[in-house]
Amino acid sequence: MKKSEIMYGLHAVESLLKQSPERVLELWLLQGRDDDRLHKVIKLAQNFGITLQRASRKVLDDKAQSHQHQGIVVRVKPAKALIEKDLDILLEKTEQPFLLILDGVTDPHNLGACLRNADAAGVHGIIIPKDNSVSITSTVSKVACGAAEVVPVFQVTNLARTMRHIQQQGVWILGTAGEADSDIYHADMKGALAIAMGAEGKGLRRLTREACDSLISIPMAGTVSSLNVSVATGICLFEAVRQRQAAIE
């Protein structure tokens, strides 16, 4: 495990400072940048006694390995990785778990966008395979706009086995695939639920697909055969939110 990693971007750093300020080792701000959005973050950092260092754009670009840092870069202790036993704890304490399974998403922008959607939809946790998947990199955190610091991401060794395990705990798993006969508007998404999304190129792997209780599709009216995985995730999650809210009203 790395001793430290880099994160950047206003939302991501603000969320980090709110959730886990103890992880911050160093914080650099762009020389000359001084506005309200940055002030909020500066105040938070100062409240936790974090020393602020000013640096040139070139230094920040180099540290972030990106131009997308919005004038703020931090070096942090890596977050504790969440694994199968942490998922068990979540299931024990959550009455109607609402989970997202991402079967091997490899593009950090897609994972970041899925995290952002998951946070907005009130998902309790995301399950990803340890291998064949991008992990929470600085790009993922930046794109997730703060969601990577709040939505628990469980990295599991054997995804199909974990799916069977959560099914035994009463979680119904809906896999998503464009060719499924049933569509999201006719699926029951209330109760303990996990929605499984496939990877960018190949979709759900065979074993993941077989481990699902049922497969559902998003109806496609046009000529393209599939949606981007993060867009499809947002659509499925918010249909579930709609049904779950209707059930309690």
Ligand X SMILES: C[S@@+](CC[C@H](N)C(=O)[O-])C[C@H]1O[C@@H](n2cnc3c(N)ncnc32)[C@H](O)[C@@H]1O
Which positions lie near ligand X, rule CB under 6 A? 176-178, 197-198, 200, 203-204, 217-218, 220, 226-227, 229, 232
- Least CB distance to ligand X at residue 213 (A): 15
What's the N-to-C CA distance of the chain in angstroms? Answer: 46
- Least CB distance to ligand X at residue 201 (A): 6
Paired tokens of 246: 């209707």
Contact 129, 155 (CB under 8 A): yes
Positive/negative CA dihedral, 39, 44, 45, 47: positive
Binding-site entries for S-adenosyl-L-methionine: 198, 218, 227
> Is the CB of 26 or the CB of 200 nearer to ligand X?
200
Rounded CA separation 110/62 (Å): 24
- Least CB distance to ligand X at residue 81 (A): 24
> Is the CB of 74 or the CB of 216 nearer to ligand X?
216
Helix (H, G, I), strand (E, B) or coil at 216: strand
> Is the CB of 120 or the CB of 150 nearer to ligand X?
120
Binding-site entries: 198, 218, 227
> Is the CB of 221 or the CB of 248 nearer to ligand X?
221
- Least CB distance to ligand X at residue 237 (A): 12
Mapping DSSP onto H, E and C, the string for 24-72 reads EEEEEEECCCCCHHHHHHHHHHHHCCCCEEEECHHHHHHHHCCCCCCCE
